[in-house]
Amino acid sequence: MTVSYSGTDLDDIMCRAESLGDHSELHRSLSRPKLSKKPVRYGNIVKSEFEDNLRQCVLPVNCDVNVMADSVTEVLYECVRKSENHVCHNIYSDNNLDRWERLLQDRDDSRVWRAIDWKGNVNVSGSVGESRPSDEEFKTHFETVLNPTQAATNYPDIDTNLSIPILDDPITPQEVELQIRKMKPDKACGPDV
């Protein structure tokens, strides 16, 4: 077998192949920058600032399409990073979520009940409000709701004398024999007769 050399540069082909697709991560040297960047949430971008930053940017003109795509990506990412709202709107909700996770993992249920106000709403502020009942009021309220003093025991419209034949009829010896025959040998819990 003979291998003919067509005059192409195999090193150049290997370099180009390494930069294609997902397998390029395996061949990438450590000196190259990372492909992925820190994501920016869409809700944290100030639209007016992004538009202003984008108007001020100058896109480099180059004849190579790959270089142009990379530079456009860099410019857009930098515009987004500059227009990011660093005062996060979700800090309060994240702290509140952490608070509830701690409360729910705690073994003391009274802390969870104290975090709920009298109307059943979640006490988000964490401060004691006027609408929050005391422990005694909470106890007496649930005792009256769950243990009514005058239970209405007379319901004339409800018929409790229901008859379901398949459940109410006595079990016949034929039904027992039929079920015994359906059982597999040596699988019964008691001695076979």
Convert the pLDDT of each residue in 143-161 to its tens digit. Answer: 888 887 666 666 667 777 7
CA nearest 136: which of 124, 118, 151, 123?
A: 118
The percentage of the chain sitting over the pLDDT mark of 90, rounded to a whole number, equals: 4
- Residue-level pLDDT at 185: 78
pLDDT tens-digit map of 22-35? 555 555 555 555 56
Write down the mean pLDDT value for the chain.
71
Write down the pTM of the prediction.
0.30
Q: So what's the pLDDT on residue 168? A: 82
Left if phi > 0, otherwise alpha if psi is -120 to 50, otherwise beta: which for 151? Answer: beta
pLDDT confidence tier of residue 58, bands split at 50, 70 and 90: confident
Length of the chain: 193
Residue 95 structure tokens: 């702290």
56 has a pLDDT exceeding 80: yes
Q: Report pLDDT for 68.
A: 78
pLDDT at position 173 is 93
